[in-house]
Amino acid sequence: MTVISHITCPVCGDFCDDIEVTVEDNVITDVKNACAVGAARFLNYATHRRTKPLIRKDGELVEASLDEAIRKSAEILADATYPLLFGWSSTSCEATRVGLELAEEVGGVIDNTSTICHGPSILGIQDIGISSCTLGQLRHRADLIFYWGSNPWDAHPRHIERYTMFTEGRFQRSTWRKYVSRLGGTVTEKRLQRTANLLLDHHPPTPIETGQGLPYTMFQKKRKMVVADVRKTRTAEAADYFLQVEPNRDYELLQAFRMLIRDGELDVEEVAGVPVELLEEVADVMIGCELGVFFFGLGLTMSEGRHRNIDAALSLVRDLNQYTKFLIMPMRGHFNVTGANVVFTWQTGYPFAVDLSQGFPRYNPGETSTIDILRRRESDAALVIGSDPLAHFPKKTAQNLIKNPLIAIDPELTPTTLMADVVIPPAYVGIEAEGTAYRMDHVPLPLKKIVDPPETCLSDEEILRRILNEVRRIRRKLN
Amino acid sequence: MNGERIDLYICDGKVVEKVDERKAKVIDASGMMVMPGGVDIHSHIAGAEVNAGRLLRPEDHVKDVEAKTAVTRSGVGYSVPSTFTTGYRYSRMGYTTVMNPSMPPLEARHTHEELNDTPMIDKAAFPLIGDWWVVLEYLQDDRIEECAAHVAWIMRATKGYAIKIVNPGGLEAWGFGRNVAGIDDSVPHFNITPRDIIRGLCKVNKLLNLPHTIHVHTNNLGRPGNYATAIETMKCVEDLAEEDNPVIHITHCQFCAFKGSDWQTLQSGAEEIAEYVNQHNHVTLDMGQVVFTDTTTMTADGPFQYGLYGLTGNKWVNHDVETETSGGIVPFRYRRKSHVNATQWSIGLELALLIEDPWRIYLTTDHPNGAPFTTYPKVISWLMSTVARKKMLKRISRRARRKSLLPSIDREYNFDEIATVTRAGQSKALGLKQKGHLGLGADADIAIYNLNPKTVDPSIEYKAVTRAFCKPAYTLKGGEIVARDGEIVKPIQGGTFWVDIKLSKPWEPSEDLKLKFREYWTVEYENYPISEDYLKASLPIRVEARI
Amino acid sequence: MIILTPKRSFTVPVGGECISPDTFAAKSTSEMANLPVWEGNKKRALGHLFRIELKTAPSESLTIRIRGDAGRIRRIGAKMSSGRIVIEGNAGMHLGEEMNGGAITVVGNAGSWAGSRMKKGTIEIKGDAGHYIGAAYRGSNKGMNGGAITIYGNAGNEVGCFMRKGLIKIHGDVGQFTGIHMKNGTIYIGGDSEVRAGAQMLGGKIVVLGRIPSILPTFTIDDIKSRVKIDGEKVEGPFYRFLGDLAENGNGKLFISQKQNTHLTPCERFL
């Protein structure tokens, strides 16, 4: 039995690096410090995995040797006129580096999953810029935390505890105690309300907060949290202010904030379902803080307006810097989606949706992005790594993806691997293979190898390297 | 060098006394000019901030692309080129060693990943240390030796080469959106001033015997009147100099040689700085020359970049790094007709021409802050030719022209001096003993320019000089021909220098530090350092410290 | 006149930047047939994809006529400075990108980014067009800087994104964010507009003849105008005139038909 410490957790964008695992006979038996999602990953990753490569023959996926699968993959890519290489957010930077070389060699389009998550954030940044930081800056200094369209309580479970409200910094204290006492109060209040409702038996239970999102919690002097979302999430319950935004009206609300912080006056009583007095109060809190941070998630990037929502959010934060220090950060999903953007950018200049078909990088999301290419049915082959587009893409694009040869490098049993023509199960990076990944705030950390992979499973990097070599061999033979 | 004609023998990547000519490959460079490979002491080519600049500027990339060839990778970028393209372009210009001067220690792994993908050149990175909390805490208690031991750990952990100080104290203040006003302003929340930081780290540098001096980006950078701050900064370490050895490098000096009380009254402070430098031996500088073009400014100086956003309204990136540093990016176009930009152009050249000793001032554009490094040949032509300078002077803002000192300066650099400011001086300042010369034992990093120094008059034929420096006939790296006539013929990896400091007694970070680490950073102490095998081609430089 | 007829249909994108009067000028048909064209990652000759016929007609400027569907062909007429291109079917993305003169007519539909970054000349699209008409490249704030685009059908989102000068006339409906970040120039919408017209605009003029569901809260009503002038022509209103985008300290003008937008009547109380 060995205990290994300081392991990074290959699950979400928070990429915690303080995990401790216990390994017995090459099996992980215990996990400490991880959240429920992380622990489940370490303990159960191998439950439904594949270990043998598969190739589709006469419509059926049959087991094949690794060499065969690699050769078949290389042939598909070498033959293609406009291949698509998609995924990259759940693998190491080292693998992505080889992937880019492969895309360049086969003249394809390479795109990572930010195309369907924070791609709009990137487009916004390219128009406006971004005032950002690493997460520790917030631990030490932030006294106002704003979450918009993101629910870290469920999606990034240790975010609040490690980096924002419940963490002790040099200049800011944790608000954990306050939260606990308040939680007690809220529970009691809820219980009393319920009893009262039962006894009186008059009306249906009235919600504690008004539908307009007025704050119901006690006023806090120290760190404050504001949440804007379309529904009251658990994160919102812990907040000092909750702004319930009408779905798809985020842009209007953000622009209204921008006007308010310029001391402008709004000609309306409410914006996106939120009364203007509340907006004014929150705007005052934003201007009055010492250091504020604005986290946003897919609730903002994928609601109507997309990159223009982000454009407005980035502009708001930029404008706030006239009065105080304000920072903004996207809540990235996969543990290395940031890394995929970073590697793409240093090798090609562009963070996603890179078209290498003409021998040099071109970039224009909408033209060179996966969803659009598939919707127009332009690609004639695809390689998918560490992603499950068939489960997540719009129906028509998913259909077009499987009309052409499809290679999947993924150990999991997913709709994509079920429909692929070649399946190569790799070792799990961060558990069975090493590498580098980037936390959501661009801090690079090592992915570690804790246990040995099954003999038939190579790392993503190694698989890609072999496909690349095979493609080059085919090319040489043709010339 | 010195215009003499000699035979040069190379074996196993080094310059040697003699080889068997029958078995050797011979390059006929008669009628050409042979120089050591170019050395760049300050060029932002890799790391978090450069990459953020790349991400920010698709419109910069789209106008300048490089397709893949049989031997090279593709890339893009005019002012912030992608990594491969950066390596190729340097090599095609005859440069073989480049220093990446600003590496946020927490993101050092990122810098090294990119350097691994920057081929053709040897490189190194300077960690930003001037605003580290731990360093500030040691220095405020005057615990220099402990601080030195800690810095030694930083160098090893980040695989760094030299101590970089950017706007000391100002970056810490920027954490809450503030700045410091001068070298004696106190740093908020710490009992320390920028002067204490510079002096403290200068002492640390000497204790550790590092090959380069402290590399300083001064306070108040980019503000009218800051030439006084620059002189005070140099003065504040005057007493720490031993013999004639420099103890401080003031980088991209053009940006801190502004006289005047505001932008309207801006004029050059180059004369005052040059006068000081000519009288004191303890300082080296690089130009940070401005060239009129569209570029991307990026520094670790967060407050300066915010100011620049305020001036231009262009898109702005800020990136604070916890407990360590910050960074900012703003795209910028230097315009001939803007009197501020034109004055900046003039200041850079005035510095280079008024400072008498070419071994103490080096040619840089602070790539990409003043201009992309691909403009070096143009800067060379301005240094070598009054005609070239006059021609540009005619085209700049009248106000700037009237104030410029350039018309009164006749000095023209000769090829020897150019070799000094583009390689020999820089490698000497960096303490790279095997670079910047072609003596026995030197690395066979060589640039051969298609230009006969005996027949060309650079003062008049400056265009031919520019052309030759753009496209050397040969670039040799480690004795191999890697580029010919502006084409890469052999891609090579290029190594990464870092200082391997040996302390007299082994120093392990105390438990106290490890505990502090948890408090200060959001990563584990164990995950912070980069192991040597992370560098694709590691070139450790062994240094014996005095402690 | 030069007639190009596609020899087959295309699936992967074809880079058609060489299809421009500037490139074709003073070339024989065989020289034209040898012009390089990218089809996906394959470099081909133009003659491989198109039948090229030269019909000398007594015309002063060079005309290129594409007979058939060019919906997959991108960047037709990019950077052209004179002459004329007529596309009898659909046109692909980036039609007339960075155009500097001449005229393009599309009988069918055009893809996104038609007329992006154009400086001079005219583009006429008889059918619908995609998104980002007359827009800037990603990250740049230099959109359309002159010339005129007329679309008889509908257009998508972000028409005139970062527009600096010129005229875009759309007779049908448009999507969201018309004139986003525009600095100057005029956008005319004959049909209906989706929300967020004029978002973050700094200057210029947007006229909506049809219905618009709402006006951004960062615009303020300024006046009711009986008519508005577009490129010298008078369009009869009446129109509400809104100013904005105030979040950007902008000075753009939004003219919204009063008759079609009775739901905006409450705004009048601020006048």
Give tens-digit pLDDT for B152-171: 999 999 999 999 999 999 99
Report yes or no: B350 at the A interface, CB cutoff 8 Å: no
The rounded distance, in Å, linking the Cα atoms of C236 and C224 is 12
Contact B318 A130 (CB under 8 A): yes
- pLDDT above 80 for A209: no
Contact A324 B177 (CB under 8 A): yes
Identity of the residue in C15, C72, C181 whose CB atom sits nearest the CB atom of A358: C15
- pLDDT above 80 for B263: yes
Identity of the residue in A8, A101, A360 whose CB atom sits nearest the CB atom of B67: A360
> Which residues lie below 8 Å from residue A270, measured CB to CB, with a gap of 6+?
A212, A276
Contact C137 B62 (CB under 8 A): yes
Query: What element of type H or E holds B4?
Result: none
Percentage above 70 pLDDT, chain B: 99
- pLDDT above 80 for B186: yes
Partnered with residue B254 across adjacent β-strands are: none
Give tens-digit pLDDT for B231-256: 999 999 999 998 889 999 999 999 99
- pLDDT above 50 for A208: no
> Domains in chain B, please, with CATH?
9-497 (3.20.20.140), 498-544 (no CATH)
Partnered with residue A435 across adjacent β-strands are: A447
Q: How far is A350 from chain B (nearest CA, A)?
A: 6
The predicted pLDDT at position B2 comes to: 62
Rounded to an integer, the average pLDDT of B469-476 is 97
Q: Looking at chain B from residue 272 to 301, which residues have their Cβ under 8 Å from any Cβ of chain C? A: none
- pLDDT above 60 for A218: no
The rounded distance, in Å, linking the Cα atoms of B317 and A217 is 35
Identity of the residue in A82, A262, A363 whose CB atom sits nearest the CB atom of C12: A82
Rounded to an integer, the average pLDDT of B215-221 is 97
Specify the amino acid at residue A425: P
Give tens-digit pLDDT for C13-71: 999 999 999 999 989 999 999 999 999 999 999 999 999 999 876 666 799 999 999 99
For chain A, the domains span 50-117+335-428+455-478, 119-330
Best A345, A476, A479 member to test B by mutation, with max B CBs in 10 Å, is A345
The predicted pLDDT at position B4 comes to: 76
Identity of the residue in A81, A127, A271 whose CB atom sits nearest the CB atom of C40: A81
Specify the amino acid at residue A20: E
- End-to-end Cα spacing for chain B: 40
The predicted pLDDT at position A220 comes to: 43
- pLDDT above 60 for A213: no
Chain A adjacent subunits, 3+ CB pairs under 8 A: B, C
The average confidence (pLDDT) of chain C is: 95
Residue of B nearest to C248 (CA): B313
With contacts defined as CB-CB under 8 Å, which chain C residues touch A126? 138-139
3-state secondary structure chain A: CEEEEEECCCCECCCCCCEEEEEECCEEEEEECCCHHHHHHHHHCCCCECCCCEEEECCEEEECCHHHHHHHHHHHHHHCCCEEEEECCCCCHHHHHHHHHHHHHHCCEEEEHHHHCCHHHHHHHHHHEEEEECHHHHHHHCCEEEEECCCHHHHCCCHHHHCCCCCCCCCCCCCHHHHHHHHHHHHHHHHHHHHHHHHHCCCCCCCCCCCCCCCCCCCCCCCEEEEEECCCCHHHHCCCEEEECCCCCHHHHHHHHHHHHCCCCCCCCEECCEEHHHHHHHHHHHHHCCEEEEEECHHHHCCCCCHHHHHHHHHHHHHHCCCCEEEEEECCCECCHHHHHHHHHHHHCCCCCEECCCCCCEECCCCCCHHHHHHCCCCCEEEEECCCHHHHCCHHHHHHHHHCCEEEECCECCHHHHHCCEEECCCCECCCECEEEECCCCCEEEECCCCCCCCCCCCHHHHHHHHHHHHHHHHHHHC
Identity of the residue in C12, C39, C112 whose CB atom sits nearest the CB atom of A366: C112
The predicted pLDDT at position B511 comes to: 78
Contact A136 B77 (CB under 8 A): no
Report yes or no: C38 at the B interface, CB cutoff 8 Å: no
With contacts defined as CB-CB under 8 Å, which chain A residues touch B110? 342, 438, 442, 444
Specify the amino acid at residue A52: K
Give tens-digit pLDDT for A133-143: 999 999 999 99
- pLDDT above 90 for A471: yes
The rounded distance, in Å, linking the Cα atoms of A359 and A377 is 21
CB atoms within 10 A of CB A65: 12
- End-to-end Cα spacing for chain A: 55
For chain C, the domains span 2-220
The rounded distance, in Å, linking the Cα atoms of A236 and A148 is 10
Contact C40 A367 (CB under 8 A): no
Residue of A nearest to C131 (CA): A366
Give tens-digit pLDDT for A353-373: 999 999 999 999 999 999 999
Q: Looking at chain B from residue 432 to 461, which residues have their Cβ under 8 Å from any Cβ of chain C? A: none
Best C17, C39, C41 member to test A by mutation, with max A CBs in 10 Å, is C41
Residue of C nearest to A362 (CA): C138
Report yes or no: C266 at the B interface, CB cutoff 8 Å: no
Q: Is the pTM of this model over 0.90?
A: yes
Token output for A109: 């389009």
The predicted pLDDT at position A185 comes to: 81
- pLDDT above 50 for A219: no
pLDDT band for position A216 (50/70/90)? very low
Specify the amino acid at residue C124: E
With contacts defined as CB-CB under 8 Å, which chain A residues touch C247? 255-256, 258-259, 262, 264, 312, 315
Contact C13 A304 (CB under 8 A): no
Token output for C1: 């006149």
Give tens-digit pLDDT for A300-330: 999 999 999 999 999 999 999 999 999 999 9
Closest CA to B168 of B149, B143, B185, B148: B185
Contacts 24+ apart (CB under 8 A), A281-285: A281/A241, A282/A226, A282/A241, A282/A243, A282/A257, A283/A257, A285/A144, A285/A224, A285/A226, A285/A241
The predicted pLDDT at position A202 comes to: 57
Interface of A with C (CB under 8 A): 80-82, 106-108, 123, 126-127, 251-252, 255-256, 258-259, 262, 264, 266-268, 271, 304-305, 308, 311-312, 315, 356-358, 363-367, 377-380
pLDDT band for position A85 (50/70/90)? very high
Contact C270 A267 (CB under 8 A): yes
With contacts defined as CB-CB under 8 Å, which chain B residues touch A347? 73, 75, 82-84, 117
Contact A8 B46 (CB under 8 A): no
Buried b (16+ CB within 10 A) or exposed e, B400-419: bbebbbbeebeebbbbebbb
pLDDT band for position A111 (50/70/90)? very high
The rounded distance, in Å, linking the Cα atoms of A102 and A263 is 53
Q: What is the CA radius of gyration of chain A?
A: 24
Best C176, C216, C218, C221 member to test A by mutation, with max A CBs in 10 Å, is C218
Domain spanning A119-330: which superfamily? Dimethylsulfoxide Reductase, domain 2 (3.40.228.10)
Chain B adjacent subunits, 3+ CB pairs under 8 A: A, C
Contact C199 A255 (CB under 8 A): yes
Identity of the residue in A17, A325, A349 whose CB atom sits nearest the CB atom of B524: A17
Q: How far is C57 from chain A (nearest CA, A)?
A: 36
Give tens-digit pLDDT for B516-541: 888 999 999 999 999 999 999 999 99
The average confidence (pLDDT) of chain A is: 93
Contact C217 A267 (CB under 8 A): yes
With contacts defined as CB-CB under 8 Å, which chain C residues touch B57? 139
Interface of C with A (CB under 8 A): 11-13, 15, 38-42, 72, 74, 93-94, 112-113, 131-132, 137-139, 141, 176-177, 180-181, 196, 199-200, 216-218, 220-221, 245-249, 267, 270
The rounded distance, in Å, linking the Cα atoms of A348 and B399 is 42
- pLDDT above 60 for B71: yes
Identity of the residue in C41, C132, C245 whose CB atom sits nearest the CB atom of A81: C41
Give tens-digit pLDDT for C83-94: 999 999 999 999
With contacts defined as CB-CB under 8 Å, which chain C residues touch A268? 217
A202 burial (CB, 10 Å; 0-12 / 13-18 / 19+) is exposed
3-state secondary structure B183-237: CCCCCCCCCCCHHHHHHHHHHHHHHHCCCCCEEEECCCCCCCCCHHHHHHHHHCC
Which CATH number is A50-117+335-428+455-478's, of 3.40.190.10, 3.40.50.2300, 3.40.50.740, 3.40.630.30?
A: 3.40.50.740
Give tens-digit pLDDT for C122-162: 999 999 999 999 999 999 999 999 999 999 999 999 999 99
For C124, the 3-state DSSP assignment is strand
Rounded to an integer, the average pLDDT of A12-31 is 96
Q: Looking at chain B from residue 116 to 135, which residues have their Cβ under 8 Å from any Cβ of chain A? A: 117, 133
Contact A252 C217 (CB under 8 A): yes
The predicted pLDDT at position C209 comes to: 97
Report yes or no: B522 at the A interface, CB cutoff 8 Å: yes
Report yes or no: C138 at the B interface, CB cutoff 8 Å: yes
Chain C adjacent subunits, 3+ CB pairs under 8 A: A, B
Give tens-digit pLDDT for B82-113: 999 999 999 999 999 999 999 999 999 999 99
Percentage above 90 pLDDT, chain A: 87
Q: How far is A449 from chain C (nearest CA, A)?
A: 38
Closest CA to B275 of B239, B327, B235: B235
Q: How far is A60 from chain B (nearest CA, A)?
A: 38
**Are the beta carbons of A327 and B177 closer than 8 angstroms?**
no
Percentage above 70 pLDDT, chain A: 95
